[in-house]
Structure formats: C-alpha cells, structure tokens
Structure 1
Amino acid sequence: MYATHSFWFEALFWWYNVKQAKGPGVTSALTWNELKEHIMEKFCHKIEKDKIEREFIQLQAGTMTHRQYTTKFYEMARLLPEHVKPEAKRVKRYVQGLPPRIRELVRISAPKTYESAIALSAIAYEEDGKITSDNKMK
C-alpha cells in the first residue's frame, strides 16, 4: 500500500488502470515481490534490462571515486539480483570492477562479504591516494 501511494505520473496512471482491471481486493493482496514483478514488466522492458545487464557486466571503476563506483554497483545490482546471488558472486563481481591496484589489495584480503569488500576497497582507495600523492610530490 505504501509503495503504490508513492507512484507519480505514468506509474500512478498505470496503477489506477491495474486497480480498475483487477479490482482493489486483488491489488491490495499483492505481495511485495508480485508488485515488483508487475512494475518490472511495465517499466523495465527487455531491451532496457539487457542494456543495463551489459553495462553491469562491463562496469569498471575507472576514474570514479570509491563512493561513486560503490553507488553505481549497488544501483545496478539492485536491478539485476540474479547477477549477484549468492553473496560470493556479489563480492567477486564488485572486486572485478575495481581499479587493478585496488583490486589486488582487496583480493589479498579475501573478503567473504560484500560489506567487507566495500570496507577493504575504501581503505585501499585511501592508501592508493596517499601513495599517488607522495609520488607526485617527489
């Protein structure tokens, strides 16, 4: 109920049509997962999902900051849960997208959880920045 009250514009009009077609009793009995499926069917077409999937598979931190990369990874992983389950797969995919020097530092620590991979990569980014700054000053 809360989620559907948050809909705006096109999503709101779509939801009113669903309620009219199925009836308020049926729509209020939908589980969260059922509602997500309906939303994905309507607003995330196969072509768009395939594009996001390709972007996610090729996601590299590159010149992004740690926060930017982690946020982008989280956003894309949320849309493609099949690519990050189980936890070990999520960790592996996250670490693969890190810059090479950071990636190696994180891999050495062998994080078991996504949260630990994020924490380790944050430390590695910070240390790498210090090393880079020291080298520039020399």
Structure 2
Amino acid sequence: MEKIFRALPCTKRQKVTFAKFTFKDDAQEWWLLTLEKEDIVTWARFLEVFYEKYFPDSLREQKAVEFIHLRQGTMTVAKYESKFTQLAQFMTYVIFTKARKAKKFEAGLDPKIKDMLEVLKLPTYAAVIDRAYITEKGIKALRSREPNQKKQFWERDNRRPGIAPPKRVNMGTTSSTNSSNQGLTNPKGGTIPACITCGRSHWGQCRQDTEACFRCGQIGHLLRDCPKLTSSTANPSAPV
C-alpha cells in the first residue's frame, strides 16, 4: 500500500480513508470496533494501531533480527531491495538517516558488487540501488562471455608450434593414391582408420594403450627388446 501512496500522492487523512476500504472480514470488524474508541485521522496513528494489532512485539523483534542479518546471498538485487524495504519499516529507530540506510543496504550486497560500490562512496540510498543494478548487469554480461573466451584460448593454444592438431579419421572408401595419413587400404575394400592414439593405421585395440610390444604384441618388453626382433636380425631369411 505504501508503494501505491508513493505513486499516487495524497494527504495523510486520505491515506487512512483509502486503507480502511481494503479491510475485509475480521480486519473490517476490528477497524469498526477501533473507531468506536478513537477517531483515527492521521496516517502515523493508523500505522501504530495497525501494527499493535497485526504485528505484536515478538513478531517485530523477529523481523528486526532478520533485518540485521539480511544479506543478498543468491537473491538478485531486485529481490534483495524488495526484502530490505519490507523489513526496514520495522527498524525505523535504527535507520534514521538516508546515509545510514544506504550504508546498511550496501553492506548486505553480494561481495563482488559491494567491492565495486565501496570505492564510489555513494551518498544516497537511491544512488546505491541504481549502481547496484548496473554492476549486477555488468557481472552477468561478463559471465556470459566467459565460455566463449575459454574456447578461444583453447583454440589459440592448440595452434602453437609443437602441438599437433587433432587427427582426422577417414572411414570412407579411398584409392591407393591417397595420403598415407588417411589409413592403409583394406584388401576387402575401404580403409583402415588411423589410430587416434599412436597415429598409425591398424585394426583392434592400440598396443600403446595396453603397453604391449609393437612387434609381437606381448606384454613385458618394448619393441627394442623384442626377442623376435633379435632373431630376425640374426637370421634375415627367417619369416617375421
């Protein structure tokens, strides 16, 4: 209702008149009984009587504690500002100046937004809210660009000398005149794909993954120590 009065300025007596028309059922009966005891004509007195009825001291204390510990957390600036305004009405004895109200709001902002606002030394509550909205929008825009920037950095790094580009595997049919890095020709048709691990053309699991000998396929020694390689060198006529 306070927001309506800020949008449609009216006198304090008119505020009371407009407010009483919003009462229904129990609230309307309570208001009629209250008017029998006192003719309430000012807005300040109306709020005092209304809060005594619907906001007892225990609830006010609860709201006061909630306001003291209020932080933006995961809320947007808009939701935080709405919650702040809602609770601030119960703490008029603490926030008695616009400067203190601005400082309290700024202190509860998200740390990233708060750090950017503190250096500006904004004097008014309205200025703090306005700058908080702008800062939040800038942070969101920066975060939305981060994935594309990371992708660009990755592509740039992979174009540096000494870093081989990803190997392309050709699974289609090809003639014997094609480059050898596209795979060896399969007698039955098609090509043997180039292995993405070792870069050679072969079927089955790569021996580099299993740490097996590239010549005999057994585990426990490398190609340079392969017994078959030794015997083949000693007897060149022996079959491989």
TM over 0.5: yes
Q: Does 1:27 align with 2:39?
A: yes
Gaps of 5+ in 2: 1-16, 151-240
Does structure 1 residue 13 correspond to structure 2 residue 29? Answer: yes
- Aligned CA-pair RMSD: 1.5
CA distance in 2, matches of 1:10, 1:83: 33
In structure 2, what residue type is equivalent to 1:58? H
Counting aligned pairs with the same residue, the percent is 26
The within-5 A match list for 1:73-88 is 73-88=84-99
- Paired residue for 2:145? 134
More helix by share: 1
Q: TM-score, normalised by structure 2?
A: 0.52
2:20 matched residue in structure 1: 4
| Corresponding residue SS for 1:59 | coil
Contact 1:102 1:121 (8 Å CA) reproduced = yes
Q: Distance in 1 between matches of 2:90 and 2:104?
A: 15
**Structure 1 runs not aligned, ≥5 long:** none
Indicate conservation of the 8 Å contact 1:77/1:83, yes or no: no
Name the SS for the 1:110 alignment partner: coil
**Cα deviation digits, residues 18-69 of structure 1 (max 9, x gap):** 123x2xxx415x3111111111111111111111111111111111111111
Partner in structure 2 of residue 44 of structure 1: 55
1:81-135 Cα deviation digits (max 9, x unpaired) = 2232201110011001100010011111111111100001011101111222233
SS in 2 for 1:82: coil
Structure 1: how far apart are the matches of 2:52 and 2:101? 24
Aligned length: 133
SS at match of 1:7: coil
